[in-house]
Structures are given as C-alpha cells and as structure tokens.
Amino acid sequence: MEYYVDRIEADKAVCETPDGENVSFPLNVLPPETREGSVLREEAGVFSLDDDAAEARRCALLSLQEALFEAEDDA
C-alpha cells in the first residue's frame, strides 16, 4: 500500500491513501527520514520511503500549480 504524508502532528504522521482516505501512523514505526511530502510504501507491516514517487508527486503538483496560475493570468 502507498501513503502520502500530509503532515506530522506530535508523535504521528497523518497520511493520505491513493483513494483519499486519511490514516495516522506513529512516527516510531516509520523511517526516521519521514517528513511532510514523503511517500511511504508498506509491505507486511514494514514501511519504506519511495523517494522517486515523492519527487514525481512534487513535480505533478508544481505543474498543476503553474497551470492554475497561467489560467488565472489569462482571465
């Protein structure tokens, strides 16, 4: 399963699933490098970071943001 880290709150990471559901995990079960924007993969209860997926997600969001600003400028 894949999770997107939306935010860190105290001792937990609030994550979003690909279908938009929010779930929380204790930080002590996640890789120490976990931060907002990280993409986590879970297999058999073990979490790992997917840096390539996180970078692809960041690029997609930046492209969307740029398109929105361009549309605003054209209006």
Q: Classify residue 46 as exposed, middle or buried by CB count within 10 Å of its CB (0-12, 13-18, 19+).
A: exposed
Strand partners, 12: 9, 26
CATH at 62: 2.30.30
pLDDT tens readout for residues 8-57: 999 999 999 999 999 999 999 999 999 999 999 999 999 999 999 999 98
6 touches 54 (CB < 8 A):
no
Strand 12-16 and strand 22-26: the pairing is: antiparallel
**Any residues with CB less than 8 A from the CB of 53 and at least 6 apart, and which?**
2, 39, 41
Please state the domain count of the chain: 1
Question: CA torsion sign, 7 to 13 to 14 to 15?
Answer: positive
Q: Is the pLDDT of residue 75 over 70?
A: no
